[in-house]
Structure 1
Amino acid sequence: MAHRIFIDGEAGTTGLQIRQRLADRRDLEVVSIDPARRKDAAARAELLNSVDVAILCLPDEGAREAVAMIENPDVRVIDPSTAHRTAPGWVFGFPELAPGHRQAIAASKRVTNPGCWSTGFIALVAPLVRAGLIPPEAALSVHGVSGYSGGGKGLIEEFEQAPPPSSADAFRPYGLTLAHKHLPEMVACTGLAHPPIFSPAVGRYAQGMIVEVPVALWALPGRPAVADLRAALSEAYAGEAFIQVATDLETSQLSQARAGASGYVQALDPEALNGTNGLRLHVFGDETKGQARLLAVLDNLGKGASGAAVQNLNLMLGLDEDAGLSRP
């Protein structure tokens, strides 16, 4: 018998992507609310309480409202919003976070999906803190660029319907208040004592992202080498289906790529993993300067949103973890 799934908010960007990834599944039945009763709270509550798993692709307040409607103790919930990212009783939905974490997801009734930015940051930093290479008190920063699809319908409409962009709009910094919604889980899931300085940006392309964490190795206890960081990440993600750590040779080839006639070289492509649930990690560095640059490449709508939700869904239902998902 197929497991019944309700995507509350299936018309949004993440909801549409999840439905697409589940479209060919025969082990799941995705149910929808009657369009005529879409705004009927009783109809929504009835559906939320009748399924095996509810996936809440809603704004934060809507997600909290949906959880409050669920009275059936057997209903399991995946929440891709930020409403429950650090809430008690919720398991953070990044299966590769630490040994035993995917088992915690599988056993949980309440799983909070990671955000795209925090997925990249946590994947890069958590193993290094755990290995003692980065101390919890370290002062870190994180920045990068994401496709505009991560900003939801409003930003998508602005970028796709606006007049031709000026050069100033090709790269748009945001989060200038230093109070971005991903910061709490970035701290909670890495073991850091202080939030990083977070400077995100959106580019004029739809999908895909690069997340970067610069590290001053000379300021860290023991002055770890670049190779130490790469080795710790490789060990942390050994055997993982969806996370790859670039080798020293691969990194060297990217580092030494020569500029073309235009004077620029595209060494890393933020769109490289679009359509997959993949996450690729790179460690660049200069031993003489004692500096390193940690970079993560992922699909902000894949491993950063809908792909992660499907991966968590599979774990929670005891199904093949990679069912319905594309590897990098």
Structure 2
Amino acid sequence: MKPKVFIDGEHGTTGLQIRSLLSGRDDIEIISAPVERRKDPRARAEFLNAADVAILCLPDDAARESVSLITNDTTRVIDASTAHRVAGGWEYGFPEMDKGQSDRIAKAMRVANPGCWPQGPIATLRPLVSAGLVPDGYAVTVNGISGYSGGGRPMIEDYVAKGEDAPEFLPYGLTLKHKHVPELKAYAKLKHDPIMQPAVGNFAQGMITVVPLQLAALPHVPKGADLHAAIADHFASIKGGMVEVAPYQEVERVPEIDPEVYNGTNRMRLYVFANDSRAQALLIAVYDNLGKGASGAAVQNLDLMLGLNS
């Protein structure tokens, strides 16, 4: 019998993407509530409890409600909201984060799918903190840009309506209360809240994150090659992962550092650039905010939990 998968919130941005990625698969069965019943808690409860895996693509409060509606001990959950990313009893759904993380996800009953913004900084910072090259008390700043699909349906509709008149570069999160800060702090192993300075661009999807490092402020100043080696060694130890590390080189620009280059994939590519004489470095991640940053990650986690190879 094929495992049953229920996407609670399948008509939202992430839900539609996941449904599209799963379409045509013959190794799972997608079950859906009738359109007229999809907002009925009784219908949601019925399908949540009938599923082998429920994928929640909902606002935080609705995601918590969905979990409360599950009354059996067999339905496993992937939550794409922010609600459970640092909650006890939930496994963080970034398979390449650590050696063995994919095995923990495979065995978990509850998996919190990562947010798009923290994944790049976690991928570059966590190996450095684990290796002792960057102290956990370092004051981290994250910059970057993502496509407007990261803002959900309201932002998508706004950008599409404005067309060429939409802002090319729009910083946001200026209250310094970005919702992804807690998970970035927790999984990058940081003691202090990082500053996140995100921006949205006039393109649909894709993203770049940048973590600048003032290495001279560190007790022991590493070289750029040391940073690159620690990150490369980490991801080389992850078998079957979707994260790759670019060769270490000194160049002014790299054409492939384009926010849209990995659109429609679950890939992430990491770069380390440094000026050793100035003791400064940049950690850059390029990936799709709807792929590795949302729906692609959810499908990767689903396959791990069901023991499938998509």
Q: TM-score range by the shorter chain?
A: over 0.9
Q: 1:66-145, aligned counterparts within 5 Å?
A: 66-145=66-145
Is residue 205 of structure 2 the alignment partner of residue 216 of structure 1? no
Q: Percent identity?
A: 55
1:33 is matched with 33
SS in 2 for 1:55: strand
Which of the numbers 275, 296, 303 marks the counterpart of 2:292?
A: 303
CA offsets 1:100-137 (integer angstroms, 9 cap, x no match): 11111111100000000011111111111000001011
Is residue 266 of structure 2 the alignment partner of residue 268 of structure 1? no
Aligned equivalents of 1:130, 1:163: Cα separation in 2: 44
CA contact (8 A) 2:95 2:241 kept: no
Computed over aligned residues only, the root mean square deviation of the Cα atoms, in angstroms, reads 1.2
Aligned equivalents of 1:122, 1:164: Cα separation in 2: 34
CA contact (8 A) 2:168 2:201 kept: yes
Gaps of 5+ in 2: none
Gaps of 5+ in 1: 258-264, 324-328
**Total equivalences in the alignment:** 308
**Could you say if the C-alpha distance between residues 240 and 234 of structure 1 is closer, same or farther in structure 2, counting changes exceeding 3 Å?**
farther
CA offsets 1:64-88 (integer angstroms, 9 cap, x no match): 0100000011000000100001011
1:260 is matched with none
Distance apart, 1:229 and its partner CA = 0.6
1:262 is matched with none
Which of the numbers 180, 201, 204 marks the counterpart of 2:202?
A: 204
1:146 is matched with 146
1:56 is matched with 56
CA offsets 1:190-236 (integer angstroms, 9 cap, x no match): 11100111100000100000000000111112100000010001001
2:185 is matched with 187
1:289 is matched with 278
Counterpart amino acid of residue 68 in structure 2: A
SS in 2 for 1:292: strand
TM-score norm. by structure 1 comes to 0.91
SS in 2 for 1:134: coil
Distance apart, 1:241 and its partner CA = 3.4
Counterpart amino acid of residue 302 in structure 1: G
Aligned equivalents of 2:164, 2:224: Cα separation in 1: 42
SS in 1 for 2:286: strand
Aligned equivalents of 1:242, 1:266: Cα separation in 2: 21
**Could you say if the C-alpha distance between residues 163 and 190 of structure 1 is closer, same or farther in structure 2, counting changes exceeding 3 Å?**
closer
